[in-house]
Amino acid sequence: APTTKRNVLSTALHFDQGSEVWLFDCGEGTQHQVAHSTLSIARINHIFITHLHGDHLLGLPGLLGTRSMQARVTEPMMIYGPPGMQKFLKCVLEITKTTLGFPLVIQEIEQDGVILETPHVTVEAMQLEHGVKSFGYALTEREKPGRFQRDRAKSAGIPEGPLYGRLKRGENVQLPNGKIYTSREFVNPPSKGRKIVILGDTVPCTAAFELAKEADVLVHEATFSKEQQILAEKSMHSTAQEAAQLAYRANVRTLILTHISARYEKIADASSHPLLDEARTVFSNTYLAEDFFLFSVPHRKED
């Protein structure tokens, strides 16, 4: 539930390339939060809903209506979510007589697997374990070509121009004197793209581990502390300790905790929070998200 200090859940991903924004979940009041941030509703063109509980999607109809009315965008809005997503939006938009000025493309996820591939990113979805169908999403950047070592090529006597292009493309080249050079002599190995994993509500499960493996960033719910373990199991949520244990086992680089129970309302300072302390005893590189929390995912260094 929202509190005076914390809204319900929505996570925005702002890409390096251009100004495209993807949303993950869209709880009540999300469009108000966007208005108070540096983001623009007009730039949101993909929305991924983890599951159909109200605190994760009741802000969606309002955000779509505002995007149509104020932003005047005609670019399609792509929405991904569990079965029932189409019915929910059709019902709400029809009853409220909301006409959108852009195409709405809804893809309901029926099974685990890749649900989206762009020139830069692949998105995989897997079903977690919650009271309803709840999905986690793993976004993986494509590999980046290795850096071309121009100085080394010059030292080897390879003239600048088309031969450099061939080496960059992985081809071998032959000079007039008959000497052959291979691409790998002058091009570093490709570097892996970043991996970001955003999970829906869940208890610890195999799917969460499989998605989280080797992630640069894992966004994981931490509704309760370990003292409320029984309550967490009953409501099919995770504790901060369980989120940290997953991050540790999956060799994650950074863990960000979200979906905090309203019982922690009186704790104002997120940097000295019992849930954060609990997680950091297991996995030190943990942050506790608060409204308007920002995190920049660093590029992976070349080998």
Q: Which residues are catalytic?
A: 55
- How are the residues of the chain apportioned to helix, strand and coil, as percentages rounded to the nearest 5? 30, 25, 45
Alpha-carbon distance 197 to 11, whole Å?
11
What is the distance between the alpha carbons of residues 101 and 63, in angstroms, rounded to a whole number?
Answer: 13
| Beta pairing partners, 126 | 136
> Terminal CA-to-CA distance of the chain, rounded, Å?
45
Radius of gyration of the chain, Cα coordinates, nearest whole angstrom: 23
Residues in CB range of 282: below 8 A, 6 or more apart: 241, 244, 245, 247, 248
Q: Residue 187: phi, psi to the nearest 5?
A: -120, 125
